[in-house]
Amino acid sequence: MVDIAERAPRERGSLLTNPLARSIFIQATLLVLVIGAGWYFYENARANLAAQRIATGLGFWNNTAGFGISQTLIPYSETSTYGRAFVVGLLNTLLVAGLGIVFATALGFLVGVARLSKNWLIAKVAEVYVEVIRNLPLLFQILFWYLAVLSTLPSPRQSFSFFGLAFVNNRGLVVPEPIFNEGSGAVGIAFLAGLALAVIVRYWARARQMRTGQIYPAGRTALALIFGLPLLVYLVLGAPIRFDLPELKGLNFSTGLRIIPEFIALLLALSTYTAAFIAEIVRAGILAVNKGQTEAAYSLGLPPGLTLRLVVVPQALRVIIPPLTSQYLNLTKNSSLAVAIGYPDFFALFAGTTLNQTGQAIEIIALTMAVYLAISLITSGLMNFYNRRVALVER
């Protein structure tokens, strides 16, 4: 053996030590492995699908779904198609994720600031909240809210009432239902116009401040425009939007908008869970702003309110935004846990019911993954864009 080693000393120019040859060899091996695995899976899938007589392709898309959905934002019936059910589910997912993001952000900022409060008691309360919520699995919390809290509420006849406006019972939350009469569209348009005007005012105010140094109260004007304009139109048109108050008739509520308990449980669990993570992000973000920044602002004569708004918050946001984005994405992805309690979200309707009925696992799961992937990539793309805008510009 020693002879062999001596007879074949490692040469400098041998293929094994040549970086280029090595790089090509490694990459070619990887490529062959990936393509080989892909081909192997493809062939197996073809044989299995043929043996089990499972159809391929998206032919089921226009077939009648035949199942009911407990919450639909667009008209849907059992005779609608699978494609329609797909859209209904997607809208339900976006609804719970969108509302969840709003609530989680509000609660998270509140708790995050409370954790830094000088008040010892409230800081401790916030800390206990964060620690307890973060250390329990989300699915546990969803099941807790659904099984232990909402299902054990009284029946509709003994509902908890909130000043006769909203009622909570084991069949969900009943709130006043808005009835859109003629002219409601104008109120909506006024709202959008107010929004557009507010943006314009903000740009104009900034430009004027750059030019003359005078500050214009753009925030208050914007609020007045966004809420005042629709209110004005609403009053001028003689209140085109009415609210139908919930009314108990027999065993159930006949009027009013019923929000299903599955939605409430999911929304509660998602927002409180994510809020605990956001609170930590906010706390870290505020602590990351150097104390010298605040002191410097004070020595320039800036009052505390302006210091917070112009010096501390913009710098804290720079630290907060990237992890906040990933929390928003987590919340959206976690909304798929709806399947455990039967909230008709995208995942439950498509990868659950539709997969059960058609059996086309490959197409459906691939499509489901593609949708979540698209949501993730779009969100992180937008946030990266924003992040680049607020990022520190160094030389």
Partner 1 sequence: MSDIAAEAGIGPFVRRELLAANLPPPAKRGLIGWAREHLISGPFNITMTILSVLLILLIVPPLVRFMLIDAVWTGDNREACVNASGACWPFVKAKFGQFIYGFYPIAERWRPNAVFALGALLLAPLLIPRAPFKRLNAILFFGVFPIVAFVLLTGGNFSLFQFIIGRIVPLAYFVGPPWEIMGLTASFWLDYLISSVLIVSLTAAIAHFLGGNPRAVARMASLLLFLLGLALLACDFDFGLVPVETPAWGGLLVTLVVAVTGIVVSLPLGILLALGRRSELPAVKAFSIVFIEFWRGVPLITVLFFATYMLPLFLPGGLSINGLLRALIGVALFAAAYMAEVVRGGLQAIPKGQYEGAAALGLGYWQTMGQVVLPQALTLVIPGIVNTFIGLFKDTTLVLIVAIFDFLGQIRAAFTDPNWSTSTTLFTGFAFGAVVYFIFCFSMSRYSMFVERRLSAGKRH
- Which chain residues interact with partner 1 by CB under 8 A? 1, 4-5, 8, 10-11, 14-17, 23, 26-27, 30-31, 34, 41, 44-45, 47-49, 51, 117-122, 124-125, 131-132, 134-140, 143-144, 147-148, 152, 333-334, 336-337, 339-340, 347, 351, 355, 361-362, 365-366, 368-369, 372-373, 376-377
Cβ-based nearer residue to partner 1, 150 or 190 = 150
Task: Give the residue ranges of DSSP H helices in the chain.
Answer: 2-7, 19-52, 82-115, 120-134, 138-143, 184-212, 218-223, 229-236, 261-288, 291-299, 304-306, 313-334, 346-347, 355-358, 361-390
Q: Which is nearer to partner 1, 143 or 224 (CB)?
A: 143
The Cα–Cα gap between 220 and 213 comes to 19
Q: Quick one: tokens of 169?
A: 């019972």
Tell me the C-alpha distance between 95 and 84, whole Å.
16
Name the residue nearer to partner 1 (CB basis): 319 or 339. Answer: 339
Burial grade of 46 (CB within 10 A; 0-12, 13-18, 19 or more): exposed
Instruction: Report the nearest approach of partner 1 to the CB of residue 74 (Å).
Output: 24
Listed residue (375, 371, 376, 348) closest to 85, CA to CA: 348
Least separation in angstroms between residue 197's CB and partner 1 is 35
Nearer to partner 1, 183 or 359 (CB): 359
Q: Least distance in Å: CB of 111 to partner 1?
A: 12
- Provide, rounded to whole angstroms, the least separation between the CB of residue 22 and partner 1: 9
C-alpha closest to that of 307 among 288, 292, 287, 327? 292
- Print the SS3 string covering 289-342: CCHHHHHHHHHCCCCHHHHHHHHHHHHHHHHHHHHHHHHHHHHHHHHHHHHHCC
Residue 178: strand, helix, or coil: strand
Strands 241-244, 177-180: parallel, antiparallel or unpaired by DSSP? antiparallel
* CB of residue 71 to partner 1, shortest distance in Å: 20
Closest CB to partner 1 among residues 51, 74:
51
CA angle 278, 129, 318 (to 5 degrees): 20
Q: From the CB of 391, what's the least distance to partner 1, in Å?
A: 17
Min dist CB 307 to partner 1, Å, is 18
Residue number, 296 or 366, with CB nearest to partner 1: 366
Taking the complex as a whole, the smallest distance from the CB of residue 237 to partner 1 amounts, in Å, to: 41
- The four Cα atoms 358, 360, 363, 365 give a dihedral, to 10 degrees, of 90
Q: Please, what is the minimum distance in Å from the beta carbon of residue 153 to partner 1?
A: 13
29 three-class SS: helix
Nearest CB to partner 1, comparing residues 221 and 384? 384
In the complex with partner 1, which residue's Cβ is closer, 221 or 376? 376
* Min CB(306)–partner 1 separation in Å: 19
Amino acid present at 149:
V
Comparison of 20 and 210: residue with beta carbon closer to partner 1: 20
Give the C-alpha distances (Å, rounded to integers) separating 262 from 95, 143, 162, 190, 212: 13, 10, 20, 34, 55
Q: In the complex with partner 1, which residue's Cβ is closer, 200 or 377? A: 377
Single-letter residue type at 41: F
Q: What are phi and psi of 24, to 5 degrees?
A: -65, -40
Q: Give the separation between CA 302 and CA 312, rounded to whole angstroms.
A: 12
